[in-house]
C-alpha cells in the first residue's frame, strides 16, 4: 500500500504540473491546491484512485469554450466582450454551474469556480456535474436594453454548448432574474424549443422554483447552525457580520433574523454599513434589488442606528459569527486574526472561496468552526437541481416543500462532511471532510465509467 507521504509527494508533483500547464491562473491554482492537499489520506487508503490517471483527469476540464460577444449600447457604439463556459466534469450528471458577469472574469476565475462546483454539486447528492461560465461584461450602470442586447449576443453562441441533459447554467454575480430572462428568451428564439430545464433561476411564473433566490443564503445559515449545534450552541441571540449586499448576503441576513440571530453589517465595493439594530432586510432589498443603489443610501435612510464606513474592512466589526458573502479572497489572514481577537465562533462561506488559504489555516488553528463554500453555500445549486426536477415533471412545488428539501440537503451535507473528516482522522475539519466526501463520489463514478 502507498504511504501517505508517498501520495503527498505525488500530489505535490501534480500541483506543480497544474501551475505549469495553466499559467497566470492564480485562482484556479489556489482552488486546486486547497482540494489536492487534503486528498493524501483517501488516495493512500484507496490506491485505485491513483492508477488510471484519475486525479490528472479530474483537474483538466472536459471542455473549455471561449468566444467573442459583440453588442451595441444605446448610442449605437459596438463593444466586444469575452464569453466563457468551462464544462469541467460530468461524471455525476449534466454540467451545472452559474454564469458570472463582472469585469474581473477571466479563464482562470471561471476554472476555479468550475472546479469548486464539481465537489459542491457532488455533496448535494443530486446527480449534477460541475461547470461554470460568464463574461467580463459589467452590467452595472447599463440600461435594461443594453443588458438585453448583451445577453442575446452571449446566448447566440452559448446555446450551441448547453441543454437540459448536457449543461445547465444558472446565475451568479451580475446575473440575476433579469439576465436569466433575457438569456432564456434568446435560447428559445434560436432553438424553437421550450426547454425550461436548460437554465435555472428562472422567474416563478415561467418555470422557476420558489426559494431559489433565497437558497444560497438560507443554506449557508443552515450550515452554520449545524456547525454550532455540533458544539452545543444555536443561532439564537448570536451577532453576525455579513459581507456583500447582493442576493446571497440579503437572504443570509434574512435567514439569520428568522433563526434569532442579528446581522449587523452589509457591504459593497464602496464600503460597509454597521447597523446596531440589525440590518433591515426590506430596506436593503429596496436599495439594492429595486433601485440598484449603494449601501450608503441604505445608511442614509435607515437613520441613527446605521453608519456607513467608506472603504475599510467589514471584518473589523466584532461578532459571534462571520458569513463572507461577496467574492473570492475577501477575507485575508489579517482579517481572520481580527475576527479571532474579537471572539468569533464560526465562519461560514456564502461566497465561493472568500477566505484565503492563510486565513482558513489561522481560523482552524484558533478553534473556530469553519464551513468551506463547497459545503456551506451548496444550497443554491441544490435548489437549482430541484428546479430542474420540477421542470422535468412540468410541475411546481410549494415554498414549504422546497425549503424542507433544502434543509434536509444542508443537514445531510453537514453530516457527510463531519463524518468523513472523523473517518480520516481530521475531526472538526470541514474543509477536509468536504473535499474528500465530494472527491469520493466523483472518483467512484469516473472509475465506473472508464478512461474518458
pLDDT digits 0-9 by tens, 66-82:
999 999 999 999 999 99
Other Cβ atoms less than 10 A from the Cβ of 407: the count is 16
8-state DSSP, 142: -
Q: What is the pLDDT of residue 1?
A: 56
Is residue 3's pLDDT more than 90? no
Beta-strand ranges (E) seen in 209-289 are: 239-242, 262-263, 265-268, 271-275
Distance between CA 127 and CA 91 in Å, rounded?
A: 9
Q: How many C-beta neighbours within 10 Å does residue 205 have?
A: 7
Which of 41, 65, 20, 30 lies closest to 157 in space, CA to CA? 65
Strand order in the sheet with 265-268: 265-268, 271-275, 306-310
Mean pLDDT of the chain: 97
Task: Tell me which of 3.40.190.10, 3.40.50.2300, 3.40.50.10860, 3.30.1360.30 is the CATH number of domain 63-194.
Answer: 3.40.50.10860
Query: What cell was used for 303?
Result: 437613520
Cβ atoms of residues 133 and 390 within 8 Å? no
Average pLDDT over residues 59-69: 98
Residues 6+ apart with CB under 8 A from 247: 171, 176, 213, 216, 217
Task: Give the CA-trace dihedral at 272, 278, 282, 288, to 10 degrees.
Answer: 10
Check residue 150 and give its pLDDT. Answer: 99
| Burial (CB count <10 Å: 0-12, 13-18, 19+), residue 171 | buried
**Residue range 161-183: mean pLDDT, rounded:** 97
Contacts (Cβ under 8 Å, ≥6 apart) of 365:
none
Class of domain 215-376: alpha beta
Please tell me if the domain spanning 63-194 has the same topology as the one spanning 215-376: yes
Question: How far is Cα 265 from Cα 128, in angstroms, rounded to an integer?
Answer: 34
Evaluated on CA atoms 80, 141, 72, 187, the torsion sign reads positive
CA distances from 347 to 187, 286, 326, 330, 383 (A): 39, 27, 14, 13, 23
End-to-end CA distance of the chain: 26
Paired sense of beta strands 271-275 and 265-268, if any: antiparallel
Angle at 199 between CA 281 and CA 65, to 5 degrees: 115
* Contacts of residue 360, Cβ cutoff 8 Å, sequence gap at least 6: 336, 370, 372, 431
305 is written with which cell numbers?
Answer: 442606528
The percent of residues above 90 in pLDDT, for the chain, comes to 96
Do 267 and 314 form a contact (C-beta atoms < 8 A)? yes
What is the C-alpha to C-alpha distance for residues 70 and 160, in angstroms, rounded to an integer?
17
pLDDT in tens, 237-289: 999 999 999 999 999 999 999 999 999 999 999 999 999 999 999 999 999 99
Q: Residue 255 and residue 429: Cα distance in Å, rounded? A: 25
Q: Which residues are catalytic?
A: 132
Backbone angles phi, psi at 65, to 5 degrees: -115, 125
pLDDT in tens, 97-138: 999 999 999 999 999 999 999 999 999 999 999 999 999 999
Name the DSSP class of 172: B
Average pLDDT for residues 330-338, to the nearest whole number? 98
pLDDT of residue 97: 98
At 13-47, the pLDDT tens digits run: 999 999 999 999 999 999 999 999 999 999 999 99
Domain locations along the chain: 4-59, 63-194, 215-376
The answer to whether 197 and 167 have CB atoms below 8 angstroms apart is no
Confidence band of 382 (pLDDT split at 50, 70, 90): very high
What are the C-alpha distances in Å from 110 to residues 138, 199, 210? 16, 18, 27
Burial class (CB in 10 A: 0-12, 13-18, 19+), 67: middle
Point out which residues pair with 309 in neighbouring strands. Answer: 272
* All three cell numbers of 6: 508517498
From its phi and psi, is residue 313 left (phi > 0), alpha (psi between -120 and 50) or beta? beta
Amino acid at each position: 500500500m502507498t504511504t501517505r507521504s508517498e501520495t503527498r509527494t505525488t500530489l505535490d508533483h501534480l500541483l506543480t504540473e497544474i501551475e505549469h500547464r495553466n499559467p497566470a491562473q492564480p485562482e484556479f491554482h489556489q482552488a486546486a491546491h486547497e482540494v489536492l492537499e487534503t486528498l493524501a489520506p483517501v488516495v493512500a487508503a484507496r490506491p485505485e484512485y491513483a492508477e488510471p490517471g484519475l486525479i490528472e483527469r479530474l483537474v483538466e476540464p472536459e471542455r473549455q469554450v471561449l468566444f467573442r460577444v459583440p453588442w451595441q449600447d444605446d448610442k449605437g457604439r459596438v463593444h466586444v466582450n469575452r464569453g466563457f463556459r468551462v464544462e469541467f466534469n460530468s461524471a455525476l450528471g449534466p454540467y451545472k454551474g452559474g454564469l458570472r458577469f463582472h469585469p474581473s472574469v477571466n479563464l482562470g476565475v471561471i476554472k476555479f469556480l468550475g472546479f469548486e462546483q464539481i465537489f459542491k454539486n457532488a455533496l448535494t447528492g443530486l446527480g449534477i456535474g460541475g461547470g461554470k461560465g460568464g463574461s467580463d461584461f459589467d452590467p452595472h450602470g447599463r440600461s435594461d436594453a443594453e443588458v438585453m442586447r448583451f445577453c442575446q449576443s452571449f446566448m447566440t453562441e452559448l446555446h450551441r454548448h448547453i441543454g437540459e441533459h448536457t449543461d445547465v447554467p444558472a446565475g451568479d454575480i451580475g446575473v440575476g432574474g433579469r439576465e436569466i430572462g433575457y438569456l432564456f428568451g434568446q435560447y428559445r428564439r434560436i432553438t424553437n424549443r421550450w426547454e425550461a430545464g436548460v437554465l435555472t433561476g428562472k422567474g416563478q411564473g415561467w418555470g422557476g422554483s420558489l426559494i431559489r433566490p433565497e437558497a444560497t443564503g438560507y443554506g449557508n445559515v443552515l450550515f452554520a447552525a449545524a456547525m454550532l449545534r455540533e458544539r452545543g450552541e444555536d443561532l439564537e441571540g448570536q451577532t453576525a457580520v455579513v459581507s456583500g449586499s447582493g442576493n446571497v448576503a440579503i437572504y443570509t441576513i434574512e435567514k439569520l433574523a428568522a433563526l434569532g440571530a442579528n446581522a449587523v453589517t452589509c457591504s459593497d465595493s464602496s464600503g460597509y454599513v454597521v447597523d446596531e439594530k440589525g440590518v433591515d432586510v426590506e430596506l436593503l432589498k429596496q436599495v439594492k434589488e429595486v433601485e440598484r443603489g449603494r449601501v450608503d443610501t441604505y445608511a442614509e435612510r435607515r437613520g441613527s442606528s446605521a453608519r456607513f464606513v467608506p472603504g475599510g474592512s467589514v471584518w473589523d466589526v466584532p461578532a459571534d459569527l462571520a458569513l463572507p458573502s461577496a467574492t473570492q479572497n475577501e477575507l485575508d489572514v489579517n482579517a481572520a486574526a481580527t475576527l479571532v481577537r474579537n471572539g468569533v465562533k464560526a465562519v461560514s462561506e456564502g461566497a465561493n472561496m472568500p477566505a484565503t488559504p492563510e486565513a482558513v489555516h489561522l481560523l482552524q488553528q484558533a478553534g473556530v468552526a469553519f464551513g468551506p463554500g463547497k459545503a456551506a453555500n451548496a444550497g443554491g445549486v441544490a435548489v437549482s437541481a430541484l428546479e430542474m426536477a420540477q421542470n422535468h415533471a412540468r410541475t411546481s412545488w410549494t415554498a414549504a416543500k422546497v425549503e424542507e428539501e433544502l434543509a434536509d440537503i444542508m443537514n445531510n451535507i453537514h453530516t457527510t462532511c463531519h463524518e468523513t473528516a472523523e473517518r480520516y482522522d481530521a475531526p472538526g475539519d470541514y474543509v477536509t471532510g468536504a473535499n474528500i466526501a465530494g472527491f469520493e463520489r466523483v472518483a467512484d463514478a469516473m472509475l465506473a465509467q472508464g478512461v474518458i
